[in-house]
Each structure stands twice: as C-alpha cells, then as structure tokens.
Structure 1
Amino acid sequence: MVRVAGRAHGSAVRAGGVRGMLIERREMLRGGLLLAGTGLLPSALCAAPAGKRYGMIEISASGMTVSVYQLSREMLGGDSGMSGFERLAPKRDGEPYSVLASPLESGTDEQAAIRTVDLVADHIARLKADRGVADQDLTIVASSGVASFSAPLLAIIRDRLAGRTGHRIDVVSPRDEARLAFDWIVPRRRRGDVLQLDIGSGNTKGGYYDRRGRNAHYIDMSVPYGTKTMAGAVKFRFPAARTYDFGQHADSFYADTVAPLFQPQLQAAPATMSMPSVFLTGGIVWATSVILYPQAMAERRSWVALQPGDFARLGKLIADGTPYGAGLPATLSPEHRAVVTKTLSAIRNTFNPHQLAAGASLADGVARQFDFARRRTLLFPTFANNGWISQYLIEKFVDGRIAQVA
C-alpha cells in the first residue's frame, strides 16, 4: 500500500510536564517547508524556498510510500541542532493515510516480487514524467522490517529492479532506521532524556542517546518481530487460534520469544529504563491512537498522549469482537467523524484482526517490559509517520551523497 502521513497541526498536548518538550507551530514554520499535492499522492514534501527536486520511494513491510521533496542548501545549511522535522518544518496537508494495495506480503511467491517491481518501476516513471525528477535524484530505500518480513522477495526485487530501471535499492539496518527516526523527531537539546521506540510491521527497534549535544552516542536495540511478523509467527505456532483468543497466544509468544530477545539488550543499556520520556511510533501505535483517541486524531494533533495500559485496552476490544473499536463517541463533529471513519477504513486495509491482536500484545509486552508506567510522558508523535525516510534524505543531501544543484 501507499500510506501518506496524516496532517500534523501545531496543536499540542498540554498536560503535565509535556509542554516544554513539544514542537510549536512557530518552530515548525522556520524552515519554510510546506506540504502540497504531487498528482501522485494527496501529499508530499515541497519547500517554500526554491530548491532542487528529489523523489523518494520507500518499500516497507506494510507497502510503499512515495514522496517528492524540494531541498536547498539554504534550507538545510548549518548545524543548528534541530530535529529533522524542525529543519524541514512541514505543514501536512491532504487526506491522511491514503492506501494503494501492494502485492508484497510475507510468504508470497516470486510473482509477488515481480508485481512489486512493476509498481516501483511505474512510480519511477511517474516521478520522472509528472514531477520532473531526474534519475540521479531518485532514491529507493527498503526499511529494515522488509528483511524480517520478506527477505527472499526483497533480494528478487533488488535484482530485477536494477536490471529493469538501473536503480538500486538501499536497505537500512534496524539500528540506522531507529537512529534516523529518533533524529527526525527529537532535537539535539532533548537528547539524553528520550527513549524512542518504533513498533513496525516487520520488526521493533529504537534507542536513545547517552547525553545531550553533538557528541552523544546512540544506543540501539531491536528484535525481528513487528506487528505482522509476530502475527505470522503466532499463527504458525497456534494454527487453531481465532480472533477471540489470538491475543492470549500472542501474549505467550511475547513472554517466551520476544522478551528474552530484549532482556540482554536492556541489561547492556540500563539507561533505557530511566529515560523520563518515551516516544512511540509504528502502525500499531497509529491504529491504537485512532481507535482509543479518535478526537485527538481527528484534530490531527502533532502529539497524542498515551497511557501505558492502552495496548491492553485494544487487546480487550479485539478479544470482545470489536477489533476496530466499539463505535465512535457522539461528541465527534460530522467533519471529525468523517475523518476517523476514513482512517479506520485505512486501518482495516492495513491490519487484519489477527495482526491487530499481535500488535497489541507486542506493544503491551513492550510497555510492561520497558516499564512505561514509571515514565513521566508517553507520546505518539503523529508527524513521525515515515519520518525516517525524510531524515535519510536530509542526511544524504547534507553529506553530499546526492547532487545539490541541477
């Protein structure tokens, strides 16, 4: 599928000690970047200052994301210590979470890989013809979760795409993807007190910096299970599992398989447990936020405050036969109701009930093992959707690994 990030307004959670660490709209607008339609998708990144145009295609365990950026040296010049989001300062626009089906799925055959190559090749052609992106300014990158989710298919895709289009696919490691996501969300001044975790479809990864400032060292951790890979593993182990008891089986799988993978990493990085703030991202976090906090998501806030027990709440909804929520609150305005209804449809297209159950168990297991109940703040930064690929392009541009002038 193609999934486009939702609108991230400047609204902020004001409760407790959260306010001082949030990005205000005036900070977001400093870089002058605006989000506008591309003709390919309802939203993509474009810059207010004129700059060179770049295309980005991301292949993830949940599908594909296509973006267009206009970057200039003036926009990204200097080393201000801002997060990637602050540097690009986006205003998100268009309909959130637009979806286009992708044939790339776990366990599918070589024909699925060929169809995926067809899709990517079509996006390349459209970026060139419709948006004027040159071949040398196109970047195609595969997330770390794809290696966990569909590694054999990814190898076929890389070979066939290179032969057909001449374009290579960059594949990032879990560590790199986690660090890129962190730097997209968190400015340098906030390093040292934030743990960021991404519960993806193919894997779960995250980490923190050991101190604030430029010389901080990033400590990462990861496990090769995400919402979809864990659902597949649970179904393989418990083939008779049904929606009402899938979460129980997933809880058992977390306890005997996932938790032991995290435990030595936590012991090697004890500061993980003392970070006062946790920023959570990933598809299951998005789905949970929409189902449990429809008003906040309908308002398209930049930050949504979560509770440690939210994923257990979602798990109970699933076990009770209402995996996508038990109805919308009557307080939603007609406009907000339409937004949430459409987004819930996108969630159904992204996760079936078994996958939602696995993701809820995975996220709840993480919440318990990482002791979220002791943290000062637990937040979902809604602007982080696919943010790591934006950070990837920023760094590629600043490091001179892509041409900066036409």
Structure 2
Amino acid sequence: IARIPPANVFTAISSGVHIQAEKENKQNWVDQLINAFRFNFNEPERKVTVVDVKEEARLSHLGIVPDSRRYNTFLIDIGSGNTKGGYFPNGNTNDFKLFQLTWGTKSVANATEKNLGSDNSLDNYNRQMARVLTTAENAEIIYSVNESGSFPMSDNVAFSGGIAWSLATLIYPELIENSVVPVTYEDVAAFSEKLLKNYSTLTDQYMAKTAGDKNLNMDAINKEVKRVNQVFDQRSLMAGTGLLLKIMRQFQSVNERKNFYLVKNGSVGWISAFVNQNFPK
C-alpha cells in the first residue's frame, strides 16, 4: 500500500474548537491538543493550523460554491450552536465579508425547551419555538443580514450544515444523488408544516412503502433518510427548519427573489479548500 508523503498531509483545527476554548477561557486546551497530536504521531515539527471563523467561512465558500458563481453567491452554514458564512464583495477571493449569528439548530431547540414549563406537548413546543425565533429575528437576524450588504450583491443564497443536508434529503429524496438541491421558500415552509402535522411520513419506513417510482434508488434513499432521523429528532428538525425560514425570509422581496440552494456535503467544503490552498504548487 502506497503511503502518503508527510508533506501531503495537512492538519488543521476548526474554528469551533477555537471558539469553545475561548468561551471557557482555556486557550491552553488548543495548545495541549496540538502538542499531543505531534507527540502521538512522532512529528514534533508538524504544522498545525488553527482556522478562525472568518477563514473557515471563506474556505467553505471556496470549497462549496463553483467558480462560475463565486461572486454572486451568499453562503450560510447553519451549525448546531451558531451560523456563519459570507460572500466575496469585491470580485476577488481575498476580501471576504463575514456573516454570523449566535443561533444554530441546537441553540434554538435549547432555548425553546427552557420555555416549555410543565407543558411538554408538541403544540407548546411549536408555540414557544415561534417566540424564540421571533426574538432572534428581531434582535439579530434582520440586522445581521442587512449589515452584511449581501442582498443587492447576491443572486444565489446557498445553505450548508446539518439542517441543510437533512432538508435536502427529506424534501427531495428523489434527488438523492445530487449534492446540491434547489428549493424555494414555499418548499421549506410546506416542509415545516409537515414536520408538525405529518412527521410520520418523513421516516424511511414510510417512504419505502409509498415509493411509486421504480427507477429511484430506494436503498440509497432509505439509508440516507434513516441517517437523518438518527441525527435529528422531530423537535430539532423543527428548530433548524424554523431558523432556516427566518433567514430565507430576509431574502424574499416583492421585486426580487433569490435562488435558494441546500448543500448536502458542506461539512467537507472548507477542508478541501484548505488542502487545495496549502498543497505544493
């Protein structure tokens, strides 16, 4: 078996690790992690790059968005605890406008859970979630989108992250082979309604029973739908979908509508761009 030369192996620590260390005021955690990595692999000179939020978002754009849409696409990655992304406003890949929200799928779900009180019903969860999201929209989302200046600069808005992968899989299972799926605001709104009222129709068992097109790769569809349901339960799907809708809503205009896309493999985008950027030319 051919070995990959050490010079062609790149090591990086994502911004999430760095942010968590800063939150805990334990920056030494990162240093200890790097030192342990070098020691365990017996590579004391190994270069380990700590990627900050802006650089990770920039690399994600480079790794996910095709060159043909580089300068007219706003990329937004919805994570569990926050949301980040941005675009290139000046026609080059060095100047990157960072977009950030302190809300993610899990943080919306957690804030909703805290407001449930003694009523743990789904209806109350939906009601409290709407309040959490309205607060997030009024206090942060509207301002952050406007401040980014992205609306007049972007024809396309692409969403990545776990919730984007989940919705792409569940809304359009027939596009299982597509890594990027186009959607509309109405598609996502209808899906949100289905999550609340007909969640059972989104299981792999149900889809297997009701599949009408014999040309579809049902094995692949069922496997991916099952993965989605293992990662996200009904309530976390509701939280992530609700947050996505609030962000999409900022790009809905009477005079102009953006093209929305859900990216399935966004988690590896920044990594591939990082390797391309550092690989010896």
TM range (shorter): 0.7 to 0.9
**1:175-186 → structure 2 map (5 Å cutoff):** 175-186=54-65
Aligned position for 2:103 = 225
Partner of 1:336: 217
Do the aligned partners of residues 265 and 343 (structure 1) sit closer, same or farther apart at CA in structure 2, a change above 3 Å counting? Answer: same
Among 209, 214, 224, the residue aligned to 2:88: 209
Separation (CA, whole Å) in 2 of partners of 1:210 and 1:141:
27
Letter in 2 for 1:293: Y
Q: CA deviation at 1:349?
A: 2.1
Q: Residue 350 of structure 1 aligns to which amino acid in structure 2?
A: V
Pairwise CA distance, 1:227: 1.1
Tell me, yes or no, if structure 1 residue 272 matches structure 2 residue 148: no
Q: Is 1:392 equivalent to 2:274 in the alignment?
A: yes
Kindly state the Cα deviation for residue 366 of structure 1 after the two structures are TM-superposed: 0.7
Residue in 1 aligned with 2:33? 161
Give yes or no for the alignment of 1:235 onto 2:113: yes
Q: Which amino acid aligns with 1:144?
A: G
Cα deviation for residue 310 of structure 1 reads 2.9
Residue 188 and residue 296 in structure 1: after superposition, are their counterparts in 2 closer, same or farther (change >3 A)?
closer
Residues 330-339 or 220-229, more deviating: 330-339
Q: Which of 233, 256, 279 is residue 135 of structure 2 equivalent to?
A: 256
SS of alignment partner, residue 182 of structure 1: helix
Q: Distance in 1 between matches of 2:14 and 2:26?
A: 8
Please give the secondary structure, in 2, of the residue aligned with 1:278: strand
State the 1:358 CA deviation. Answer: 0.8
Give, in whole Å, the separation in 1 of the partners of 2:239 and 2:253: 19
Counterpart position of 2:44: none
Identify unmatched segments of 5+ residues in structure 1: 1-37, 39-52, 54-130, 399-403
- Partner secondary structure for residue 166 of structure 1: helix
The Cα RMSD (Å) is 3.5
Alignment match, 1:65? none
Q: 1:147 aligns with which of 8, 12, 19?
A: 19
- The question of whether the paired residues in 2 share the 8 Å contact of 1:201 and 1:227 is answered with yes
1:364 paired residue number: 245
* Residue 349, structure 1, aligned to residue 248, structure 2: no
Partners of 1:142 and 1:208 in 2: how far apart? Answer: 19
Quick one: distance in 2 between partners of 1:175 and 1:343? 31
Q: Secondary structure at the match of 2:185?
A: coil
> Relative contact order (alpha carbons < 8 A, sep ≥ 6): 1 or 2 greater?
2
Q: Hey, what's the Cα distance between the residues in 1 that align with 2:81 and 2:201?
A: 21
Q: 1:132 to 1:381 in 2, by over 3 A?
A: same
**Aligned partner of 1:375 among 250, 253, 257:** 257
TM-score, normalization: structure 2?
0.78
1:91 aligned residue: none
Q: CA deviation at 1:322?
A: 0.8
Counterparts of 1:309 and 1:318, CA distance in 2 = 14
Once the two structures are superposed, what CA deviation does each residue of 1:226-247 show, in whole Å capped at 9, x if it has no partner? Answer: 1122212222233544444433
Residues 138, 388 of structure 1: CA spacing in aligned structure 2 closer, same or farther, 3 A cutoff?
closer
Q: 1:306 aligned to 2:183? A: yes
User: Counterparts of 1:383 and 1:357 in 2: how far apart (Å)?
Assistant: 21
CA 162–377 in structure 1, closer or farther in 2 if over 3 Å, else same? closer
Which amino acid is the alignment partner of residue 342 of structure 1? K
Task: Return the offset for 1:376.
Answer: 4.3
- State the distance in 1 between where 2:216 and 2:148 align: 46
How many Å apart are 1:261 and its aligned residue?
1.7
How far apart are 1:254 and its partner, in Å?
A: 1.7
Structure 2 CA distance, aligned partners of 1:220 and 1:340?
35
Deviation of residue 291 (structure 1)?
0.9
Q: Quick one: percent identity of the two aligned structures?
A: 22
Q: TM-score, normalised by structure 1?
A: 0.56
CA distance change for structure 1 residues 294 and 257 in 2, over 3 Å: closer, same or farther?
Answer: same
Higher helix share: 2
Residue pair 1:238, 1:249 contacting (<8 A) in 2 also: yes
- 8 Å Cα contact 1:251-1:362 kept in structure 2: no
